[in-house]
Structure 1
Amino acid sequence: MGGTLISAEMLVSCTTKSKDVSDLFKPEQISFLNEVGDTILPTTNTPGAKAANVGEFMAVMVRDCYTPEDQKIFLEGFDKLNKASDEKFDKEFMQLNPKQRTDLLTALDAEQKEHQRTKGPEDPNHYFRMMKELTLLGYFSSEVGATQALRYDPVPGRYDGCMPYKKGDRAWAT
């Protein structure tokens, strides 16, 4: 009886954070992340990462799930990515054409792989690895990624471990 008098929010309050990502990310940073994501997963015969709004997803994940140290590394990644772009092409990332963006992110991916290979337990994470991981997670767990890039069955049937596969088939989301 008393539960009906007390709001559910008071009973289940598990966070005091605002639901708005603008406390950590500016709208132009979310647009930037969408462009980075769309360079990693561009539109082909399926929608790209921008269609799934991975920038917003990344902002929420960084705000809610990352440690303050990793948040700092991620946020500093904007400047580092623009600096790498400026050094390679004399332009900021948002001013690059798609081929230049791909070339830049390919180089950053090689850099983060080397960093990961030589990284010690106390070394910080690489900002581009975080961006890439969040892009993939955000895209393939979104409605767009699950239903258009992957095969999706909203009510899957029984499990079949020996399902026939033809080369070129999409992976299953469910």
Structure 2
Amino acid sequence: MNRRLAIKQVLIFAGAMALLPSCLREEGKVSIQLQHLDISATQEKLLEEIAELIIPKTNTPGAKDLKLHLFVLKMLDDCYDKKEQESFLKGLQAFEGLAGAELKEKLIEANSGKPGLAKEVGDFYAIMKSRTIGGYLNSKYVMSNLVIWELVPGRYNGYFPVKTA
């Protein structure tokens, strides 16, 4: 009887240890796993808003629907060096605390390349804009619904009108 109780307690303890990391997850962290970047949940929301301002929702899904801000973060984490990552984070900090019209105005200034703007803000916006657009153009939605590919050399059309010379 004691052996059964011991095995039962060990299994319960092992199950609790397996579940413990998910219970202790810090609130306010980014929703994807990043190796080199330390992004908070508020910064992720800000990146989501900026991406939505770059590619807004119309009759096609916008950046928020396609979660392009997560694509930008993953590309930045995996493909950019430490110096560019730090510059991106410094530029992101310049946008923190802004919302709505202030954010749009600051983004327009960054897009126009005003000389009085900090270099980090320009670097941040350049990376954010290029990766957001790249992620949109390579998204499943665009590749399956907007871009229609035909295999080379294409289909044969025997009824194609030909003009005589």
Q: TM-score, normalised by structure 1?
A: 0.58
SS at match of 1:105: helix
Shift in alpha-carbon separation, 1:41–1:20, aligned structure 2, 3 A: same
Match of 2:109 among 98, 107, 111: 107
Match of 1:21 in 2: 34
Deviates more, 1:49-58 or 1:26-35: 26-35
Count residues with an aligned counterpart.
120
Q: Gapped runs of 5+ residues in structure 2?
A: 1-31, 155-165
**Equivalent residue runs for 1:3-152 within 5 Å:** 20-21=33-34, 24=37, 25-82=39-96, 92-93=97-98, 95-97=99-101, 100-111=102-113, 126-148=123-145, 150-152=146-148
What is the identity, as a one-letter code, of the residue corresponding to 2:109?
A
Match of 2:162 in 1: none
**Percent identity among equivalent residues?**
26
SS at match of 1:126: helix
Deviations 1:10-34 (A, max 9, x none): xxxxxxxxx8127622333222211
Q: Gapped runs of 5+ residues in structure 1?
A: 1-18, 83-91, 120-124, 161-174
Equivalents in 2 of 1:44, 1:152: separation in Å? 20
Contact 1:39 1:101 (8 Å CA) reproduced: no
Computing the radius of gyration over CA atoms, which structure comes out larger, 1 or 2? 2
Deviations 1:107-158 (A, max 9, x none): 110127x69xxx9xxxxx722111111111111111133334x3244xx322
Shift in alpha-carbon separation, 1:157–1:20, aligned structure 2, 3 A: same
Contact 2:95 2:103 (8 Å CA) reproduced: no
What is the identity, as a one-letter code, of the residue corresponding to 1:158?
V
**Equivalent residue runs for 1:152-167 within 5 Å:** 152-153=148-149, 156-159=150-153
Alpha carbon RMSD of aligned pairs, Å? 3.0
Equivalents in 2 of 1:61, 1:35: separation in Å? 18
Shift in alpha-carbon separation, 1:106–1:21, aligned structure 2, 3 A: same
What is the identity, as a one-letter code, of the residue corresponding to 1:20?
Q
Shift in alpha-carbon separation, 1:21–1:107, aligned structure 2, 3 A: same
Equivalents in 1 of 2:47, 2:153: separation in Å? 37
* 4+ aligned runs moved over 6 Å, structure 1: none
What is the identity, as a one-letter code, of the residue corresponding to 2:73?
A
Q: TM-score, normalised by structure 2?
A: 0.61
SS at match of 1:44: coil
